[in-house]
Amino acid sequence: MKENLGNLTLELLQSINDAVYILDENGNVIQANDTFCRMLGYDLNELLTLNAKDYNASWDSEKILTTIRQLKNRTETFEIIHRRKDGSSFDAEVSAKGITINKQDYLFCITRDISERKKTQTFIKESEKKFRALFENAMDAILLLDIQSFRIFDCNPATEEMFGKSRNQIIHSLIQEFSPELQKNGEKSDELINFFINKALSGEKTKFEWCFAIADKEILAELNLYKVDINGNSILQLICKDITEKRKSEEQLNLLSQSINQSSSAVIITDINGNIEYVNDTFCKLTGYSREEVIGQNPRFLKSGYTFPETYKKLWENIISGKQWNGEFLNKRKDGTLYWESARISPVKNEQGEITHFIGVKDDVTKLKKLLDELRIAKAKAEETNRLKTSFLANMSHELRTPLVGILGCASMIAEDTKEPLTQELANIINKSGQRLHETLNAILDLTRLESETLPVDLKPVNILPLLRNSYELFLNEAKLKGLNLYLDVDEEEILAFADLSLLKSVLAHLISNAVKYTETGGVSIRAFTNENKIIIKVVDTGIGIPDSYQDIIFEPFRQVSEGYNRQFEGSGLGLTLTKKYVKLMNGRIWFNSKVGEGSAFFVELNATANKIDMSTEVTAQKSVIADFKEKKVLLVEDDPINIQTISAFIGNLVQLTTVNNAADAIAMIKERQFDLILMDIGLSGDKNGLDVAREIRSIKNYFSTPIAAVTAYALDSDREKILSSGCTHYLAKPFPRQKLIELLEEIFSE
Ligand code: ADP
């Protein structure tokens, strides 16, 4: 068979550059050129002994024989693996053509080593796979745009997620279809995107911010747009990074850092070792150091040396254990001046709860501290002044009251004893003037008490009717003397109010007294009634009235409608001030209506109560029967000769009265004789005051429980408490009318 082909065939084969060989119908190699020999590593003689199955690593002899049979007069190309003589193998592409020579079938084969091409193909496939995977799994949205129409022809799942649409809803659209009409900079979306596309087409890589608007949702993205060439075809690739959240956080961060920077407090942030990482502008202004000077430093350069080391120790203990520390430092500025700062230092923790930084927020409190110091001094001064005022008032009250005992006492005794009309009239004038002085004194004292002490208020459910009657009766005579009618107009059987009886008594006295005082003709009526849950007391007069401009003024201390040298009415101007304060203390209201020349109506509103009457609040009528205590031995300890005379005149004929004018004589007398009552002046001149004597008396045999009545011009509440807790059992404030002293004797001797 080989002979059939002859040497010519070999020469022909040798002239072909590719590796060529011929197989007979059984697959035996019958001719091959050098290229094929070299390809497989055999020489020609060796090769001519081989069958195709010896170097075709892909097929068995069966497949080889069938292929040869099938390829009669036909050409086909296969990719198979060839094995070299040394056993190594390579990819080969075989083009085989069946030929028939002299009725003999042969296979003419051209073999190319395609291992390099194969490698490249595999590589391309692999990289295509890789890139597809990258495309599919990219976090950023990737969109591929057609270079002609600029329409999207592919996008990755990240785009679907970002746009909230499926791939099918996205492709074939233009970018501007997912964008608002105008971008943030005011330019039209379609014009702007075309501008960037043209830039990308010219080979530039463009990066820009883009705002998408998809279903009312705004997405801010950072876009990278560039042209990509694939196998000679160009496409546009658009990578979109969603920066909506990032931008929001950036804006927030910016806001935060701006607010920290512009904060009126100095802010300082250090690392865990206390080295400064950040300070704001206020810190620089406060300390005088620039930012560059302090970054990286430990804040100890601010120390003035005046803060106790213990303070720093406590500060560190606190913040290292994760707690906030608040405190004050006296620090030093760059120029050496000192300043007080109030600091709050707190640890900053990371997500793992570890402390990473410390943040200090500090305020310059130098001025505040100075102000506080001044305030403290001012307060101390004010307290001292107040103390002096109280003591001044107590002394003045004492000094004014003491002579009043003599004036009022003597005047009333003279008026009682004399038959002489002129003397009687003079005594009455003394008595009236004394009373006025007494009232003014009491009003000033009451006002001081309201301002300097907390006046005890005893609010309880009371029937105010007896008190109204009593107040009415008190002024009957005065009204009658002026030719005025005084009415009490009450329909109800009892009027239950939530009130303090003694305060209400003063309120009524002031209002009725004013009404009578400021009325020349006509009359005054007192009316009281219940109105839902309120009690209204109305004092109406037909007097001179109050001008509108004085509506508020008359409630101010010492203010009167008629003021100055020409004033037409006597009075201190304190009555309504006290009245208003008393009403307020009873949680009530006071107001009035008035017309000049026609009269005034004053209203007091109190809270009503449904409770039963407290019987103890019933006001008892003044007793006028003078009891006789002839058997009672009374010792009067008093250093003022006029007061001794007055009191002696008051009760000298009712009891067995002994008088002494100093502490030593008092003690001696008490030790010598047994008294039933001691009337004790408190402000005794000498070493011991009345309270000292009272205390001493208590240690004397048989005097443990003898009544001691303090008869004193110390009339403040605090005085009263002090007196009653120092051994005295009773208290009578000077000046007092004879009747008051007699009532006291009755009270004591009837116990
Ligand atoms: P005083 O009566 O001692 O002057 P008040 O505080 O009680 O002080 O009253 C203040 C002023 O209000 C009085 O001076 C008087 O001008 C005016 N005022 C009070 N009550 C009446 C009244 N019923 N009618 C007319 N004016 C009055």
CB 111 within 8 A of CB 18: yes
What pLDDT sits at residue 618?
44
What pLDDT sits at residue 183?
94
What count of Cα atoms within 13 Å lies in the side-chain half-sphere of residue 544? Answer: 12
pLDDT, tens digit (0-9, with 9 covering 90-100), for 341-361: 999 999 999 989 899 999 999
The count of other CB atoms within 10 Å of the CB of residue 164 is 11
CA of 597 to the centre of ligand 1 (A): 14
Residue 266: what are its φ and ψ, rounded to 5°?
-80, 130
CA of 438 to the centre of ligand 1 (A): 19
Q: Which helix (H) or strand (E) holds 22?
A: strand 19-24
Token duo for residue 678: 């001691």
Give the CA angle between residues 405, 411, 412 to the nearest 5°.
90
Token duo for residue 80: 């198979």
**Which residue's alpha carbon is nearest to atom 20 within ligand 1?**
514
Return the higher-pLDDT residue of 231 and 200: 200
Q: How far apart are CA 40 and CA 45, in angstroms?
A: 13
Is the confidence at residue 46, as pLDDT, over 80? yes
Query: Which of 439, 447, 518 for mutating ligand 1's site (highest number of atoms within 8 Å of CB)?
Result: 518
**Which residue's alpha carbon is nearest to atom 4 within ligand 1?**
573
pLDDT, tens digit (0-9, with 9 covering 90-100), for 70-93: 988 889 999 999 999 999 999 999
CA of 370 to the centre of ligand 1 (A): 46
First to last CA, the chain: 167
pLDDT, tens digit (0-9, with 9 covering 90-100), for 538-559: 999 999 999 998 888 899 877 7
What pLDDT sits at residue 586?
94
Ligand 1 atom index nearest CA of 510: 7
Is the confidence at residue 622, as pLDDT, over 50? no
Residue 742: what are its φ and ψ, rounded to 5°?
-65, -40
Query: Which of 506, 539, 541, 546 for mutating ligand 1's site (highest number of atoms within 8 Å of CB)?
Result: 546
In this predicted structure, which of 32-41, 127-136, 541-550 has the lowest mean pLDDT?
Answer: 127-136
561 lines ligand 1 (CB under 6 A): yes
Local confidence band at 429 (pLDDT 50, 70, 90 cut-offs): confident
What pLDDT sits at residue 444?
77
Query: Which of 435, 482, 514, 572 for mutating ligand 1's site (highest number of atoms within 8 Å of CB)?
Result: 514
599 lines ligand 1 (CB under 6 A): no
CA of 588 to the centre of ligand 1 (A): 20
CA of 240 to the centre of ligand 1 (A): 87
590 lines ligand 1 (CB under 6 A): no
CA of 188 to the centre of ligand 1 (A): 82
543 lines ligand 1 (CB under 6 A): yes
Mean pLDDT (the chain) is: 88
678 lines ligand 1 (CB under 6 A): no
444 lines ligand 1 (CB under 6 A): no
Identify each DSSP E strand in 628-695 by its residue range: 633-637, 656-660, 677-680
Is the confidence at residue 303, as pLDDT, over 70? yes
Ligand 1 atom index nearest CA of 543: 24
Is the confidence at residue 615, as pLDDT, over 60? no
Is residue 557 classed exposed, middle or buried when 0-12, 13-18 and 19+ CB atoms within 10 A define those classes? middle
Is the confidence at residue 17, as pLDDT, over 90? no
Is the confidence at residue 6, as pLDDT, over 70? no
515 lines ligand 1 (CB under 6 A): yes
The count of other CB atoms within 10 Å of the CB of residue 541 is 26
CA of 733 to the centre of ligand 1 (A): 28
Q: How far apart are CA 270 and CA 268, in angstroms?
A: 7
Ligand 1 atom index nearest CA of 573: 8
Q: How far apart are CA 47 and CA 68, in angstroms?
A: 19
Ligand 1 atom index nearest CA of 576: 6
Local structure of residue 211 (DSSP, 8 states): E
Residues 6+ apart with CB under 8 A from 536: 528, 529, 530, 603, 604, 605
Query: Which of 441, 562, 576 for mutating ligand 1's site (highest number of atoms within 8 Å of CB)?
Result: 576
56 lines ligand 1 (CB under 6 A): no
Query: Which of 519, 537, 554 for mutating ligand 1's site (highest number of atoms within 8 Å of CB)?
Result: 554
Q: How far apart are CA 380 and CA 361, in angstroms?
A: 33
The answer to whether the bond into 421 is cis (omega within 30° of 0) is: no
CB 204 within 8 A of CB 126: no
514 lines ligand 1 (CB under 6 A): yes
Is the confidence at residue 626, as pLDDT, over 80? no
576 lines ligand 1 (CB under 6 A): yes
CA of 569 to the centre of ligand 1 (A): 9
pLDDT, tens digit (0-9, with 9 covering 90-100), for 356-405: 999 999 999 999 889 998 999 999 998 888 778 767 776 777 777 788 88
Cα 704 from chain centroid (whole Å): 61
554 lines ligand 1 (CB under 6 A): yes
Token duo for residue 140: 């950023």
Q: What is the mean pLDDT of residues 633-647?
A: 89
571 lines ligand 1 (CB under 6 A): yes
Ligand 1 atom index nearest CA of 599: 24
What pLDDT sits at residue 7?
64
Token duo for residue 306: 């005046």
**Which residue's alpha carbon is nearest to atom 19 within ligand 1?**
514
Is residue 684 classed exposed, middle or buried when 0-12, 13-18 and 19+ CB atoms within 10 A define those classes? buried
Token duo for residue 329: 């430092």
pLDDT, tens digit (0-9, with 9 covering 90-100), for 443-458: 777 777 777 655 678 8
Is the confidence at residue 228, as pLDDT, over 50? yes
Return the higher-pLDDT residue of 646 and 465: 465
Determine the longest span between alpha carbons in the chain, in angstroms.
193
> Which amino acid type is present at position 277?
E
What pLDDT sits at residue 406?
83
575 lines ligand 1 (CB under 6 A): yes
CA of 99 to the centre of ligand 1 (A): 148
Residue with tokens 């400064």: 276
**Which residue's alpha carbon is nearest to atom 23 within ligand 1?**
515
**Which residue's alpha carbon is nearest to atom 25 within ligand 1?**
545
Ligand 1 atom index nearest CA of 562: 16
Residues 6+ apart with CB under 8 A from 579: 506, 507, 510, 511, 590
SS (H, E, C) 636-674: EECCCHHHHHHHHHHHCCCCEEEEECCHHHHHHHHHHCC
